[in-house]
Amino acid sequence: MRAPAANETALGESLLAVEDVSLSFGGVRALTGVSFDIRKGEIRAIIGPNGAGKTSMLNVVNGFYQPQAGRISFKGMVRKSMRPYAAAQGGIARTFQNLALFRGMTTLDNILAGRTLKMHRGFFWQLLRYGPALREEVEHRRRVEEIIDFLEIAAIRKVQVGRLPYGLQKRVELGRALAMEPDLLLLDEPMAGMNLEEKEDMSRFIIDVNQQYGTTIALIEHDMGVVMDLSDRVVVLDYGRKIADGTPDEVKRDKDVIRAYLGETH
């Protein structure tokens, strides 16, 4: 293991921090003054009732939305906002609640698309498929195959993604995000719509990604069981504000959290 470079984050230190971020659309305030951080190597869950602003938060981190106020610091660099491809180039990969897959392409091509930012060799050499470009292509293909093996989707390698059942599509999207070899992986409701067996598989993959590749993960999730099992720390949002931040056990017992989920009568 080499010593971390100047701008590399050490394990346990803050990889991404949002400070005082506020976001509104027209008159609607989606986020108000939210601050929390995500430490390198951890699995951070973002939870909250529907409409709490969780996906908006992810979109801000990812660069899809530009906040009106607040800052984001990622890997030591502070910025007010990022364009999506800058976020991707910086090492943030993302999956979406409603899936954003290339429906017309095969599983293999979808995951290969995740390698886009890593493809360097000259355009001309790629055309000829020769020399360094060929070697690079082989290397990319090998990485992609490792991911396919890891996610156990070898059987649907050549199937057009638009035809796959929902659970498998989610896995392909995860594969594409993994292909980017991200420092930070943002998962928006990865278990949505899955049955028990699929949830267990997905949980296993998430844990393996975190342990084997050391990827930091932030996930939005509704299934409390999953959250408690998987995450190291939890952030709770409600009506665009942060109402709790801590370990799963701490958060579970927090009065504000209980009230937010179960309503005022408790």
Partner 1 sequence: MHILYLIFVDPFMQMVHSPDLLMQTLWDGLVGGVLYALIALGFVLIFKASGVFNFAQGIMVVFAALTLVGLHEHGVPAFVALGLTVLVMLVLAFAVERLMLRPLVNQSEIILFMATFGLTYFLVGFGQLVFGGSPKVMITQDLYLPSGALEWKGNFGFVSFQKIDIAAVIIASIMVAVLAVFFQRTRIGRALRAVADSHQAALSVGISLEQIWVIVWFAAGVVALTTGIMWGARSEVSFSLQIIALKALPVLILGGFTSIPGAIVGGLIIGIGEKLGEFYWGPLLGGGIENWLAYVIALGFLVFRPQGLFGEKIIERI
Partner 2 sequence: MPSLDPSLDTLPKLLSHNASAFGSRPAMRHKDLGIWQTWTWAQALDEVRAFSIGLAEIGLKRGDKFTIIGSNRPRLYWAMCAGQALGAIPVPVYADAVAEEMAFVLAHAEVTLAVVEDQEQVDKLIAVAEQLPQLSQVIYDESRGLKNYNHARLISFEDVQAIGRKKLASDADCRQRWEAGMREGKGKDLSVILYTSGTTGRSKGVMLTYENTIISARNANAFDRLDEREEVIAYLPLAWVGDYVFSYVQAFTAGYCVNCPEAQDTVVQDRREIGTTYAFAPPRVYENLLTITMVRMADAGPFKRKVFDFFIRVARRWGEKILDRERVPLHARLLYALGDFFVYGPLKNQFGLSRVRIGYTAGEAIGPELFRFYRGIGLNLKQLYGQTEASVYVTAQPDGQIYCDTVGTASPEVELKISDSGEVLYRSPGVFAGYYKDPEKTAEVLTADGWVHTGDAGFFDPKNGQLKIIDRANDVGRLTDGTVFAPKYLENKLKFFPNIREAVAVGAGREFACAMINIDLTAVGSWAERNNVVYASYQELAANPRVYDMIAQHIDETNRSLAEEAVMAGAQIRRFLILHKELDPDDGELTRTQKLRRGHIIDRYSPLVEAFYNGSTDAQITTQVTFEDGHKGAIAARVTIRDLKPAPVPAAKSAKMERAA
Tell the smallest beta-carbon distance from residue 238 to partner 1 (Å).
27
Contact (Cβ atoms closer than 8 angstroms) between residue 113 and residue 141: no
126 belongs to the binding site for partner 1 (CB under 8 A) = yes
Helices (H) and strands (E) in the chain, counts: 10, 10
> Choosing among partner 2, partner 1, none, which partner's interface includes residue 176 (Cβ < 5 to 8 Å by kind)?
partner 1
CB count within 10 Å of CB 23 equals 22
Interface residue with partner 1 among 123, 195, 212, 265 (CB under 8 A) is 123
Instruction: Using alpha carbons, select from 215, 191, 217, 220 the residue that is nearest to residue 203.
Output: 191
201 belongs to the binding site for partner 2 (CB under 8 A) = no
104 belongs to the binding site for partner 1 (CB under 8 A) = yes
Residues 6+ apart with CB under 8 A from 14: 37, 38, 39, 40, 73
211 belongs to the binding site for partner 2 (CB under 8 A) = yes
Interface residue with partner 2 among 29, 121, 157, 252 (CB under 8 A) is 157
> Choosing among partner 1, partner 2, none, which partner's interface includes residue 255 (Cβ < 5 to 8 Å by kind)?
none
Interface residue with partner 2 among 78, 119, 154, 224 (CB under 8 A) is 154
> Choosing among partner 2, partner 1, none, which partner's interface includes residue 117 (Cβ < 5 to 8 Å by kind)?
partner 1
What is the rounded CA–CA span in Å between residue 127 and residue 110? Answer: 20
Residues 6+ apart with CB under 8 A from 104: 160, 161, 162
Q: Which stretch binds partner 1 (CB under 8 A): 16-24, 49-57, 125-133, 228-236?
A: 125-133
